[in-house]
Structure 1
């Protein structure tokens, strides 16, 4: 059975374990206030072959991603920039 999330104006958010065929709650059983059903992220897992986790999860990132050229280090534009404390921390 799925867990649905509701919001009560007095009590805040709460979860309810309901069958998929059950109608949505209209009233909070605890305080009697009218409730609103919320959209929430579902929790599920992909199992079997054909998914990233099962096919690539254990391999190194280098085997999956294309080769990239190494980034060049920025050179100071002038002598004044070379003495800047910001450039010394990056080195």
Structure 2
């Protein structure tokens, strides 16, 4: 189950709540009843650098224009 980040609209406090992807976003905190809104956040993983694409793992082709 994914974890979504919610913000309390009154206090600005952030919460992490586990929810199914098919569930509608919550509008009230399940324990306190305070109004909340789901916010977007960065994913927990980022692919940087070489090695993540098909072209990165292939050796460089040598030129055959030298007449051999």
Question: When the two structures are superposed, what TM-score results if normalisation uses the length of structure 1?
Answer: 0.46
- After the TM superposition, which segments of 4 or more aligned residues of structure 1 sit over 6 Å from their partners? none
- Bigger helix share: 1
- Bigger strand share: 2
Alignment-derived partner of residue 39 in structure 1: 40
**Larger-gyration structure (1/2):** 1
CA RMSD of aligned residues (A): 2.5
The superposition leaves residues 13-33 of structure 1 with CA deviations (integer Å, 9 ceiling, x where unpaired) of: 000111110110110122211
Structure 1 11/30 Cα, relative in aligned 2: closer, same or farther at 3 Å? farther
Question: When the two structures are superposed, what TM-score results if normalisation uses the length of structure 2?
Answer: 0.59
Which runs of 5 or more residues in structure 2 are unaligned?
A: 58-68
Which runs of 5 or more residues in structure 1 are unaligned?
A: 57-91
Alignment-derived partner of residue 13 in structure 1: 14
Number of aligned residue pairs: 51
Alignment-derived partner of residue 65 in structure 1: none
